[in-house]
Amino acid sequence: ETGVTQSPTHLIKTRGQQVTLRCSSQSGHNTVSWYQQALGQGPQFIFQYYREEENGRGNFPPRFSGLQFPNYSSELNVNALELDDSALYLCASRSRDQETQYFGPGTRLLVL
Amino acid sequence: TQLLEQSPQFLSIQEGENLTVYCNSSSVFSSLQWYRQEPGEGPVLLVTVVTGGEVKKLKRLTFQFGDARKDSSLHITAAQPGDTGLYLCAGAFGSGTYKYIFGTGTRLKVLA
């Protein structure tokens, strides 16, 4: 148990729809990162939030957006879903001054 | 662009055998983490190595960080079926606002 929770656990959407995924950080962690993990691959960094502001972004288009709230929980929003967006979406939290991050169980998204 | 290459990609061995997984990059990392991931779940942290040349042991698992902090290895002694899973390395770079890149993973299967 890492103390990081994600919801929902599974989700099925159709192409063109929008989706919101949620993450609750481990207590005391003020930094959250989101990753996309396609089947058989390692996680790919989407973006990172610190104190409600995005402070790092990977190679993902603007239709991937996020929010971090004052309690450090976070959302990942994906607009105009595409078939290739089908993946396991992971969030990870940490304290800003620590390098070790802890992952939630992930949300598996299937886009039909 | 930072890149982490993991090898081998797949490994199937008999119970009791030893194995080594490698994680290599041309980039210098401030730290490197090893995770194990079960299907449909988030990665679970095994260890973080920070200092060049550092060796850490976790029961039958031995982790080493290269002297130049560009590479790492994971050695498992007397593998057991419970060691089966996807092993991921992740390198941290930056300062304060750390970013992470993941290797592609090594899928290990230990046969009884």
| Predicted pLDDT of residue A104 | 94
| Predicted pLDDT of residue A2 | 74
Confidence band (pLDDT; 50, 70, 90) for B3? confident
Q: Which of B48, B101, B105 minimises the CB distance to A99?
A: B48
pLDDT of residue A99 exceeding 70, the answer is: yes
Q: Which residues pair with A68 in a beta bridge?
A: A74
What chain B residue is nearest to A108 in terms of C-alpha separation? B40
What is the CB neighbour count within 10 angstroms for residue A91? 31
**What tokens does B29 get?**
């990392």
Name the residue among B68, B74, B8 with its Cα closest to residue B36: B74
Residue B66 has a pLDDT of: 95
Residue B56: predicted pLDDT: 97
Residue whose pair of structure tokens reads 């089966």 in the numeric block: B84
- Residue B79 confidence (pLDDT): 97
CB contact under 8 A, B45 and A99: no
For chain A, the average pLDDT equals 92
CB contact under 8 A, B33 and A101: yes
Torsion of Cα atoms, A40 then A46 then A47 then A48, to 10°: -10
Cβ within 8 Å, pair B42-A90:
yes
Our CA-based measurement puts residue B90 at a distance from the nearest CA of chain A, in whole angstroms, of: 9
DSSP string, A34-95: EEEE-TTS--EEEEEEETTEEEEE-S--TTEEEEE-TTS-EEEEE-S--GGG-EEEEEEEE-
CA atoms within 13 A on the CB side of B74: 27
Inform me whether the pLDDT recorded for B1 exceeds 70.
no
Note whether A55 contacts B97, CB cutoff 8 Å.
Answer: yes
Write down how long chain A is.
112
Q: Determine, for residues B92 and A99 on separate chains, whether the beta-carbon distance falls below 8 Å.
A: yes
Range A81-88 average pLDDT:
97
Is-contact A66 A47, C-beta < 8 A? yes
pLDDT at B98: 75
Task: Check whether A97 has a pLDDT greater than 80.
Answer: no
Distance (Å, rounded) from C-alpha A75 to C-alpha A92?
12
% of chain B exceeding 90 in pLDDT: 79
Q: What is the pLDDT, as a whole number, of residue A100? A: 80
